[in-house]
A = this chain, B = another copy of it.
Amino acid sequence: MTEPTLRCAECTISLCADMTTLTCLDCESPLEVDYPGHDYVSGRPPMPVPSQYLESATLGEGNTPIVDLPAFASRLGIRSLNAKLEYINPTGSFKDRGTAVVIAAAKQHGVSEVVEDSSGNAGASVSAYAARAGMKAHIFAPSSAPQGKLRQIVAYGAQVHSIPGPREATTAAAVEYATEHSLVYASHVLSPYFVEGTKLFAYEIFHQSGETMPKHIVMPVGNGSLLLGALKGFAELKRGGHIADIPRLHAVQAKSVMPIVAAFLGLDDEPPVETTVAGGIAVGTPARLEEIVTAIKTTDGTATAVEENDILSWRDTLAHTEGIYGEPTSAAAFAGLAQLVQQGIIQPNERVLVPITGFGLKDAG
């Protein structure tokens, strides 16, 4: 196998792998890692970073359990419903999969300081993995972010930069700081390495499921880092001849912040950007919006939006009946799943999997 490269998905320009190029130098589209000449036949995921860097960066992320949700399946009137407990990860969310690869790549490239913008799961995850790698982490967060959400970030010793104004101002400040100080912007949204970590979600589902692969995966989507990773993983498995079909990937958003649903449905009106209890998907202007919509359509998936009170009600029911305490963001997926079953998009006899993306301890909603 030749060296992995970074490839623009739009204009297919290829670049040498580095840490600072996040978008195509020509068309500004996001980049993805390409493995020229790799045949994907082994069923093992090719990775963009040599194993010694992955081994030194790891905190034991991934290998999350898949459990049955019999009470929910019966409540929803479907035969088989599984949850993949992505919150059982070192910092309590699925983000650790992506961060581990981003920080391993940063280590390979001799990086000593990284910049990230997030007051939530991604901020905590980057702070933890940077600490372990001996890197300084600068975490940019809106000044309106509750102290409780920042506590975990502070615990890992990251430097928090508090930015007034809307969420977009925080991203702009992070980018500006990284540029000004020649630091690496370890964006969980744009880094092509992040998706190389979240693609392992798909590989694990394949290896854990055997003959019982899910037909549908229903997930909360904000910036799309899990959805895009899942698609990349399943696409690699398909290319290697391991699966015939990619599961249908369905995106769930809150009605109060639903740019992906609006774009997917081709709504003319600008969707509202209000507050939501589902902090992990409160993303008004996702940087990879077009890519996400294309990904959903590629898998014959859908996008649907749910009410705030449904999110909280499913969160409580999940804890009370299945013993799983997820973030409101995670519970949104079940509210969406109920709609998809009702609409006949998911049939009663089809297998469904839902990731529980974040621990309820992190965000009581």
Contact = CB atoms under 8 A, between A and B. Distances in A.
Interface of A: 58-60, 63-67, 71, 85, 88-92, 127-134, 151-152, 155-157, 316, 319-325, 359-362, 364
29 contacts: A58-B65, A59-B67, A59-B324, A63-B65, A85-B90, A88-B88, A88-B89, A92-B359, A127-B323, A128-B319, A128-B324, A129-B323, A130-B323, A131-B320, A131-B321, A131-B322, A132-B322, A132-B323, A151-B364, A152-B361, A155-B325, A156-B319, A156-B320, A156-B325, A157-B316, A157-B319, A157-B320, A361-B361, A361-B362
Given A60-B85, A65-B90, A92-B359, 5 more contacts: A60-B66, A88-B90, A133-B323, A156-B320, A157-B320
A134 B70 CA distance: 11
B324 A90 contact: yes
Nearest to A325: B155
Contacts of A65: 58-60, 63, 90
A190 B262 CA distance: 56
Given A157-B319, A364-B151, A58 B67 contact: yes
A75 to B, nearest CB: 13
Nearest to A89: B88
Name which of A85, A91, A92, A132 has the most chain B CB atoms within 10 A of its CB.
A132
Nearest to A62: B65
A349 B152 CA distance: 34
Contacts of A128: 319, 323-325
A265 to B, nearest CB: 34
A143 to B, nearest CB: 22
Contacts of A151: 364
A97 to B, nearest CB: 13
Contacts of A157: 316, 319-320
A319 B67 contact: no
A70 to B, nearest CB: 8
A108 B355 CA distance: 29
A156 B88 contact: no
A233 B364 CA distance: 37
Contact of A360 (B66, B155, B323): B155
Contacts of A132: 321-324
Name which of A90, A129, A152 has the most chain B CB atoms within 10 A of its CB.
A90
